[in-house]
Structure 1
Amino acid sequence: MPTPPDFAHNAAPDAPGAPAAPAAPRLWDISPPVHATTPVFPGDTPYSQVWAAEIGPGCPVNVSAVTMSPHVGAHADAPLHYAPGGEAMGAVPLAPFLGRCRVIHALDCGPLIEWHHIAHAIGAGLPPRVLVRTYARMPVDRWDGALAAYAPATVERLADAGVQLIGIDTASIDPADSKTLDSHQVIRRRDLRVLENLVLDDVPEGDYELIALPLKWMTADASPVRAVLRALA
């Protein structure tokens, strides 16, 4: 395999002249907006919000009540989502959701991300987290039934390479009409974690720090995350 290019993201150099204080690492917010019209998997519970209390005479605060599926927006699946008796979200270790990751572009992959679509960015030193971009622009305002997904063999090879978490910019790592959820069954068997509905439109290929911690929902099958990428020092 040819040696891949350097996938470390380099911060912009300091301006010439006088020394400057180190700039804070750049952040990429890779979470889609969540509101009443955010698309959801057909049949899933959309986001809705009502006001339980509003600022006014005798009430000093606004307080809302929210109803939604935990799969709305950027989210992490728990094993309970795809495995009878699997761990609920509150019992899932946090370590896979925090640390070095690689963003790989596979914009022309078609319905499945095959190994040859990402091989150009695979080489020595592959981080334990891999996020794959399939959209030129993620459709944050509509449901896409033709979403791209991972081929199960690709997930197997990533697991063989030491990857602990895979992510994607679509609503599922399996095709939307799948009833067998083959890629989900691979991550169950190989004990990987997964992030879905990421927005990678403006993120160059390369290595970053991923921060995408799920909530400690003790009985839930998934959890929303505020997924962020931070430039490496």
Structure 2
Amino acid sequence: MTLVDLTHPLWAGMPKIPILPEVERHQITSIAEGAPMDISSITLALHVGTHVDAPSHVVAGGAAIDEIPVERFSGRAVVSRVDRRPGEEITVEDVLAGGPAPEPGEFLLVATGWDDRFTSPEYGDHPSLAPELAEWAVERGVPFVGVDLITPDLPVHRRGPGFDFPVHRTLLGNDVLIAENLTGLAALGGRRVRLLAFPLAIRGGDAGPARVLAETEEPGTEEPGTAETEKSGTGTGETP
């Protein structure tokens, strides 16, 4: 088995959505200045970088990140590779064309390749998940959705008056967790992997910064479940 890191590192001044404060890092003690050890601190909003959203992010009284059972952050996942432009919606048909259909209980990871733009202004103008796709994921029994985007909803500058974050509300409102700002998904497109996405257990947190990994077979070998998917006829782009 091989572990693939799907996590953006954290650093001072890193990209973020406009409403969030800058990420700052402070050196408290330094070996170079005669201290016996290096100690530093970091200040960041919980929705910067690779992280997992908790239901309390959009649901009053919803579960906070430390209240979610740890088993919820690990599971078999389908990686669907899609190709959409800024402002375009990613549909159910796109997801089914880009990988095998997730079975009930399987995670869904949507790979757009947008992570290549992470340090560019272009990162903020991205495709988004169609609200109908979020509804389909809920109906399908998908417990976790991950994207290589800053948000699965519309980009900030494309939102009209009264925008209410329909993708977030549909998913988190139905206890479907969301991982944002993943990286490296495109290379796994069309495959099944095991996702390990463990956020920091921040008491009362509406999200948690996370180290997210995909566990895969060695290149050229079959992912668990692939043969069964092909035999059943799913993953062909047809709605099951």
TMscore range, shorter length:
0.7 to 0.9
Q: Say if 2:59 and 2:172, in contact at 8 Å, map to a contact too.
A: yes
Quick check: which has more Rg, 1 or 2?
1
Secondary structure of the structure 2 residue equivalent to 1:171 = coil
> Alpha carbons of 1:109 and 1:158: their partners in 2 closer, same or farther (altered >3 Å)?
farther
TM-fit CA distance, 1:58: 6.5
Q: 1:193 maps to which residue? A: 177
Give the gaps of 5 or more residues in structure 1: 1-24
The one-letter code sitting in structure 2 at the alignment partner of 1:158 is: A
| Aligned counterpart for 1:164 among listed residues 137, 143, 164 | 143
- Displacement of 1:123 in angstroms is 3.7
Matches within 5 A, 1:6-85: 25-55=1-31, 59-85=35-61
Taking the aligned partners of 1:137 and 1:193, their CA distance within structure 2 comes to 20
How high is the sequence identity, in percent, across the aligned residues? 26
- Give, in angstroms, the shift of residue 127 of structure 1: 5.3
Distance 1:150 1:107 in 2: 12
CA RMSD of aligned residues (A): 2.0
Query: Structure 2 counterpart of 1:188, which letter?
Result: L
Between the aligned partners of 1:185 and 1:57, the Cα distance in structure 2 is 49
| SS, match of residue 160 in structure 1 | helix
> Which protein is richer in helix relative to its size?
2
1:110-189 equivalences under 5 Å are: 111-120=88-97, 121-123=99-101, 125=103, 128-135=106-113, 138-143=116-121, 144-177=123-156, 178=159, 179-189=163-173
Q: Is 1:208 matched up with 2:184? A: no
Please report the TM-score for the alignment, with normalisation by the length of structure 1.
0.82
Q: CA–CA distance in 2 between the matches of 1:57 and 1:170?
A: 40
Count of aligned pairs: 209
Check the 8 A contact 1:37/1:141 in 2, yes or no. no
Moved more, 81-90 or 162-171: 81-90
The one-letter code of the counterpart of 1:140 is F
Contact 2:172 2:178 in 1 (8 A): no
TM-score for both structures, normalised by structure 2: 0.80
Aligned residue number for residue 7 of structure 1: none
Shift in CA distance, 126/138, structure 1 to aligned 2, threshold 3 Å: farther
Contact 1:77/1:221, CA 8 A, preserved across alignment: yes
Structure 2: how far apart are the matches of 1:220 and 1:85? 12
Query: 1:226 — aligned with what?
Result: 211
Deviates more, 1:208-217 or 1:83-92: 83-92
Distance in 2 (alpha carbons) for counterparts of 1:231 and 1:42:
35
Q: What amino acid maps onto 1:106 in structure 2?
A: V
Question: Which amino acid counterpart does residue 145 of structure 2 have in structure 1?
Answer: I
